[in-house]
């Protein structure tokens, strides 16, 4: 049995591993660690609820700007440079979160962290897709996108382990150290090599990509951005606010990560068998149920199920939308992936703002969750219309 050379830049296993480590740095640490640590930061009065929503939105503003910028990164070597820049930003901005309580610095940090996260996810996914040596990359990309959930769960475990003995500031600093220690691997593996250099093509913006179906897909992904971010920012805080469930907030968020790990692989396999659009509709419908559970019941097991349904759908939906966009776009996946992520980002920017406003007015999260569920349902309806009137994707 031959040994795996973990330093081989062309090995598919290494490419996937490096991509998943990049997701840990960008998505697990720079984006979702905030969700894990938010209840402690609110309890310590380091943040108000309103300012916590503003910080969440600023992070998504940075992510949105990064995704928009990614659309115009035209060649693989430039993508690699910005992927590496994203890794550096994610580490530095995480350090800032642990050493200051200045509103200005926190906003600055979250914006740049969002931009760095977009470089690791949007640009990183494009690099991984180009580098993988498979005829059909569906299964491999399903494994790669499962890294979002692995990243979320691992960052949450690190944050909560530190919190048991130390402060939330120490958690941020340990997360930054963890990210810094693992970043050299994706930096090295997801770099240029002879095969990519030989096939480098400079792409121009292809307006023909944006068919009726693609426009509807982008709008639906906007609603999924809304659906993802309210629970993705506030789920532990929502659970903590329910009578009798205060001590289970952290467990619920860990379940989100664990449920998400196999979800993209399962959803991608189902999409291969039954069609991507059909499976996206089903996954979004299940997500709506999870969003509404905390408004209907304070039962512990049902609310743990809410976390499982959320984790089991949002990661898979990212994989489903991004992979479908990549197939439609053909040999320039970053263009449509970037456009999709821009729409997703707009949803993410707006959702925390209305969520904290409605919560401050009503005294609970119910109204925010109702609005979120309604918006995700509108995305489901749009995709159902494409089925009814026969608007189909032109995959390559």
The pLDDT-based confidence of 270 (bands split at 50, 70, 90) is: very high
Query: pLDDT category, 194, cuts 50, 70, 90?
Result: low
pLDDT at 199: 45
| 97 pLDDT above the threshold of 50 | yes
Mean pLDDT value across residues 200-208: 55
Output the pLDDT for position 245: 87
Mean pLDDT value across residues 326-334: 72
Highest average pLDDT, of 13-27, 206-220, 341-355, comes from 13-27
Residue 233: closest CA among 79, 13, 88, 38: 38
CB 159 within 8 A of CB 36: yes
87 pLDDT more than 80: yes
**29 with 179: CB under 8 angstroms?**
yes
Using DSSP's 3-state secondary structure scheme, residue 150 falls into: helix
pLDDT higher than 50, residue 1: no
Please give the average per-residue pLDDT across 113-124, as a whole number.
93
Residue 178 to residue 8: CA distance in whole angstroms: 23
Residue 84: Cβ within 10 Å count: 20
Report the C-alpha gap between 292 and 305 in whole angstroms. Answer: 11
Question: Does position 243 have pLDDT exceeding 60, yes or no?
Answer: yes
Least confident of 57-71, 162-176, 215-229: 57-71
Distance CA 79, CA 202 (A): 12
Q: What is the mean pLDDT of the chain?
A: 88
Q: Check whether 103 has a pLDDT greater than 60.
A: yes
């Amino acid at each position: 049995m031959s040994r795996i050379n973990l330093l081989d830049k062309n090995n598919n296993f290494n490419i996937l591993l490096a991509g998943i480590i990049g997701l840990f740095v960008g998505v697990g640490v720079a984006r979702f660690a905030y969700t894990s640590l938010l209840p402690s930061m609110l309890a310590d009065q380091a943040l108000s609820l309103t300012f916590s929503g503003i910080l969440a939105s600023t992070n998504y503003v940075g992510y949105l700007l990064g995704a928009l910028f990614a659309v115009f990164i035209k060649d693989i070597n430039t993508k690699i440079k910005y992927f590496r820049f994203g890794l550096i930003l994610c580490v530095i901005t995480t350090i800032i979160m642990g050493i200051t309580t200045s509103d200005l610095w926190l906003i600055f940090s979250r914006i740049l962290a969002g931009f760095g996260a977009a470089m690791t996810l949007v640009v990183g996914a494009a690099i991984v897709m180009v580098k993988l040596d498979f005829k059909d990359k569906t299964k491999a990309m399903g494994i790669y996108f499962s890294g979002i959930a692995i990243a979320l769960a691992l960052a949450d475990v690190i944050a909560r382990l530190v919190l048991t003995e130390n402060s939330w500031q120490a958690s941020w600093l340990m997360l930054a150290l963890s990210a810094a220690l693992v970043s050299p691997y994706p930096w090295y593996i997801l770099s240029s090599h002879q095969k990519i250099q030989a096939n480098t093509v400079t792409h121009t913006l292809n307006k023909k990509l944006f068919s009726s179906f693609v426009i509807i897909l982008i709008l639906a992904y906007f609603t999924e951005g809304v659906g993802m971010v309210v629970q993705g920012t506030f789920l532990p805080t929502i659970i903590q606010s329910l009578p009798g469930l205060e001590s289970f907030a952290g467990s619920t968020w860990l379940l989100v990560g664990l449920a998400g790990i196999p979800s993209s692989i399962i959803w991608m396999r189902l999409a291969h068998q039954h069609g991507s659009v059909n499976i996206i509709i089903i996954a979004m419908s299940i997500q709506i149920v999870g969003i509404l559970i905390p408004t209907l019941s304070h039962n512990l097991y049902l609310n743990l199920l809410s976390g499982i349904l959320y984790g089991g759908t949002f990661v898979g939906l990212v994989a489903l939308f991004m992979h479908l966009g990549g197939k439609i776009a053909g040999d320039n996946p970053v263009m449509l992936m970037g456009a999709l992520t821009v729409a997703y980002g707009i949803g993410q920017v707006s959702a925390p703002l209305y969520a904290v406003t409605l919560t401050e007015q009503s005294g609970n999260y119910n109204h925010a969750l109702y609005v979120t569920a309604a918006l995700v349902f509108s995305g489901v309806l749009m995709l159902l219309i494409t089925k009814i009137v026969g608007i189909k994707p032109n995959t390559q």
